[in-house]
Amino acid sequence: MPTWIKICATTCVEDALASIEAGANALGFVFAPSKRRVSAEQAAKIIGQLPHNVERVGVFSNDSAEHVAAIIEQAGLTAVQLHGEESPEFIAELSARWPRGHRTTVIKTVLVDQDFTVRFAKVCNDYPGIDSILLDSGAGTGRTFDWEKAMPLIGNNGKRLIVAGGLNPENVGEAIRKFAPWGVDVVSGVEREPGRKDPAKLKAFVAAVRKAEQR
């Protein structure tokens, strides 16, 4: 199965279309505090011009379930990525607010830091409402986490694994070979400046992912 590729922190239609042309499966829209943050109105305008088969992921951190649900509906999101300290109860409350007949995919971020082992085990065991776990070094840091430290702690947990944090066209192939993840997520590694994508880097990133899959 091809590796799922998400290009995060989309801020304009031009970048969204360039990401899709490069081969992205999903686009991320940041609603958490960030220099790449967009409003629900901005995201809706971009999403309105996208093919229906492209996933639209909203990135949130310690927001209210009511507010997240409102943005899902207003912007037309198909998934949420939770970067804060959201609890299983929060996810259950959010799930109860899905629009009728529409189930939104839930991605939970786990930072690979000194508390990673405990936090990762808790998310695996106590969060039945999530679909994927995203490993990151920290929102917007542009740095990789310690891959060698994280690898033996992950194991087969039954959740889809997404690797993020400092990925770029030069290192994403190695990340795929080490983790064999379900998906990868990139921001700064495909930008020409914060908040704006570089079409050449987008194409190089996707090409590096596909090349790594062939090995």
Contact present, 94 and 130 (Cβ < 8 Å): no
Q: Which of 8, 15, 63, 185 is catalytic?
A: 8
Q: Which residue has the tokens 């011009």?
A: 49
Report, in angstroms and rounded to the nearest whole number, the Rg of the chain calculated over CA atoms.
16
Return the closest-CA partner of residue 12 out of 43, 55, 57, 51: 43
**In the annotation, is 124 catalytic?**
no
| 3-class SS letters over 89-149 | HHHHHHHCCCCCCCCCEEEEEEECCCCHHHHHHHHHHHCCCCCEEEEECCCCCCCCCCHHH
**In the annotation, is 136 catalytic?**
yes
Run of H or E including 195? none
Q: Which of 15, 63, 136, 185 is catalytic?
A: 136
> Given CA atoms 106, 35, 111, 18 in this order, what sign does their dihedral have?
positive
Quickly count: other Cβ atoms within 10 Å of residue 152's Cβ.
Answer: 7
Contact present, 205 and 168 (Cβ < 8 Å): yes
The catalytic residue positions are 8, 136
